[in-house]
Amino acid sequence: MEIKQLKYFIEVAKKEHLSDAALELDVAQSAVSRQISQLERELQVTLFKRSGRNIYLIDEGKQLLTHATQMLDQFDTTVRLFREQSQANHYKIRIGYIDSYISQVLTLLIQTFEHVSTSIVEPMHMNEDEIIDALMTDKIDIAFTHLDNEIKNLPGLDIRPLFEAYYHIYVPKSDPLTMATNPPLIQLADQSIYALYPLPHSIKQKLARIVKSPIHTITSPQLATYLLNQQRGYIITASYHSLNKNEGDWTEISLAHTELKQTVCSVVRKDNNKQDIQLMLSTIKQLMNQEKSFH
């Protein structure tokens, strides 16, 4: 039993005439007659009584008409629901982002975009392991993530580098490292290193090749300040994270001169044809060109 058969059946039942039903359906009369015959064979019942040029429902046909009408109503409701949902999604830009400077400017980006667009933005924080898979499976429309060879080798992506993400360390003021100009990473080899917030995989791997002790992760600026004041080790974090300079006797040292850097990029599937997706990309470019203090 097909939806088309039920539609033809209901129209014939209403018109009680094959030709009139065919005219209403805008199909040939033979097509209507064929669908009704197929429906009767499939159900193994007679649905209509023919009388000259007219055609009338019998009891079995009246019973089917009740059920068929309910089925088509439910079908139409389902189709309408999914179309409305699809239309709504067409005007929703879903952004996945990792912990980076982007999280600092995301509010401004959303406000700027929604001020000139009928679409709305749905932001979602993600980790590096899931964000590209979410993009490729259409769970998000735009990914803000670190640019690496895996992303570069994926086909069908529009990749736009945005900025370089750098790192810095905090060390006690009495530490000899404060006397060095652009200290090399090898000077961290014998130190206890704490990461304030999780480091990207590639950054942590680079450090692990140099630092002898395990690199521990903490997520509290207050705890970071305590460890520094107690001279328990160094604190490393992204340059957009900072500690309150009034809370301890320590010094900030930039690592922008080292290999601890990553390119943050926006990634969009080239087959994404959502409403205002290009406007969003243009807004991202405009905003990032204006921002100069993300190191």
pLDDT score of 291: 62
Is the separation of the CB atoms in 283 and 112 below 8 Å?
A: yes
Structure tokens at 193: 């290193």
Mean pLDDT per block of 10 residues along the chain (295 residues) reads: 88 89 90 90 91 86 90 81 62 92 92 93 94 95 94 95 94 93 95 94 92 95 94 95 84 95 95 92 89 47
Is the separation of the CB atoms in 211 and 193 below 8 Å?
A: yes
pTM for this prediction: 0.66
pLDDT score of 253: 96
Give Cα separations from 179 to 173, 200, 253 (angstroms).
9, 28, 10
Domains plus CATH for the chain? 3-89 (1.10.10.10), 91-163+266-290 (3.40.190.10), 164-261 (3.40.190.10)
- Where in the chain does DSSP place strands (E)? 48-51, 54-57, 92-97, 120-125, 142-146, 157-172, 193-196, 216-218, 234-238, 250-254, 261-269
Q: Which residues pair with 159 in a beta bridge?
A: 267
144/268 Cα distance (integer angstroms): 9
Measured over the CA atoms of residue 263, residue 214, residue 133 and residue 238, the dihedral's sign is negative
43/120 Cα distance (integer angstroms): 49
